[in-house]
Amino acid sequence: MVDFSFSGINWIAVIVTGIVAWVIGAVWYSPPVFGKRWMALLGMKSEGGMPEGAAKALAGGLVLAIFTSFILVLFVNGLSATGLVEGAEVGFLVWLGFVLTHGVTNVMFERRPPALFGITQAELLITYTVMGIILAVWR
């Protein structure tokens, strides 16, 4: 039976997992990794520093990453996932069933470049899988 109880939640793990997810995104979208290409695909320009409004977006992104971690831990705990493999499976399946499908729908309607979709979804696949692992291992 699926149990979405809040009583078994490791809140420290939720917060740390959210921070880890945020760091993955920050590294992924940094200029040396995919940041320059991602910005070019979006038509954004950076004059050597952070784009205008980036600080607010980064802070908001951290809050949302922690919230996402909280929702994901409900799936991890509700499915009684423990260990690396089961955590990875939950993270992967959440990405596959909710994130990727939503992303494909957006691509069909927004007609964004496939490379942009690939950069974004690869980061999200890694992030959700890592989050699932941390939350399942650190119960």
Query: How much is the pLDDT for 45?
Result: 80
Q: What is the pLDDT of residues 52-84, one digit of tens each?
A: 778 899 999 999 999 999 999 999 999 999 999
Kindly state the percentage of the chain with pLDDT values over 70: 95
Alpha-carbon distance of 68 to 134, in angstroms, equals 13
Is residue 49 very low, low, confident or very high in pLDDT (cuts 50, 70, 90)?
Answer: low
Average pLDDT taken over every residue of the chain: 94
CA separation for the pair 76, 9 (Å, rounded): 10
Predicted confidence at residue 73, as pLDDT, reads 98
- Binned at pLDDT 50, 70 and 90, residue 24 comes out as very high
Burial 118-133, CB ≥16 within 10 A → b, else e: ebbbebbbbbbbbbbb
Tell me how far apart the alpha carbons of residues 38 and 51 are, in angstroms, rounded to a whole number. 13
If one compares 32 and 54, the residue with the highest pLDDT of the two is 32
Residue 34 has pLDDT above 70, yes or no: yes
Q: How many CA atoms lie within 13 A of 18 on its CB side?
A: 21
